[in-house]
Amino acid sequence: MAERFPVISGYQVDLDALKSIAHRCEPKACGNGLSCCACYDVELSAIEARRMIDWLPEAAKFNPKLREGNDGYIDPVERMPGSSPSLAVDAAERCVFSYKGQKGELWCSLHSAALAHGYAPETVKPLTCTLWPLAISDDDEPPILTLQPDAERFPCNVPRTGEGLDRGIAQIIERCFGTLFLRDVENCLAVN
C-alpha cells in the first residue's frame, strides 16, 4: 500500500481527501445560497494583490459595483496591520469581484474578464479561488494539498467513493499545478 500523503513537487498530497469529492462549478446554484465567494477570507500574495488592482477596469465591465465615481475604482484589497492582504468583501460579505447574472447566478468578474481577453482564469484569479474546493495547508512542512474541511456543504460538491479522481478535481489540479503534477497524483492513487 502506498503512502497516504506522498510528497509531490514540494507538497504533501492528501490522496484520500482529493478522491473523496466530485466538483462541478455551477454558478446558478450559488445565486441565493451558499457560495465559496462568501465563505472564505482569501489571503493574497503581493503579486496577487497587484494583479487584482490591475484587472479592476476589465472586471468592472462585468461588475459595475467595482466603480467608484466617474473614473475611479474601489480598492479590492483589504490591508490590516500585522496580516496578509486579502480580497475585500461587500456589504453581503461576498467577494467584491462577485456579481449576479441575469438569472440570479453568481459569477466572478475576474473570471469573466480573463475569458473575455482570451486568458485562462487561473492566470488572473488568486490561487485560493482557483483551487477551491481544494486547499493548501501552509501550517505543515511541506504544505499539504487537501480539501476544504466544509466543502461538502456546498451545492457544487458531492461526496464520492471509488478509485481515482473526479474529473472536476483533476481539472483543478492540472490548472493549478500542471499536467505532470496531476499525472504523479494519479500514479500515486493507482498504487493505493
* C-alpha to C-alpha distance for 184 and 8, rounded to whole angstroms: 7
Quote the pLDDT of residue 97.
Answer: 95
Q: Considering only CA atoms, which of 99, 116, 113 is closest in space to residue 63? A: 99
pLDDT above 80 for 39: no
Residue 122 exposure: Cα atoms within 13 Å on the Cβ side: 13
Residue 6 reports pLDDT greater than 80 = yes
Q: pLDDT over 70 for what percent of the chain?
A: 97
Nearest CA-CA partner of 165 in 9, 1, 22: 22
The mean predicted confidence, pLDDT, of the chain is 90
Q: Is pLDDT above 50 for 1?
A: no
Asked if residues 134 and 23 have their Cβ atoms less than 8 Å apart, the reply is: no
| Residue 81: half-sphere exposure toward Cβ, Cα within 13 Å | 0
| pLDDT computed for residue 172 by the predictor | 96
Q: What is the mean pLDDT of residues 57-75?
A: 93
pLDDT digits (tens, 9 = 90+) for 16-27: 999 999 999 877
Query: What are the extents of the domains in the chain?
Result: 1-25+132-192, 41-126
Residue 60, CA distances (Å) to 96, 125, 130 in order? 10, 15, 20
pLDDT tens for 89-132 read 988 888 999 998 888 788 899 999 999 999 999 999 999 999 99
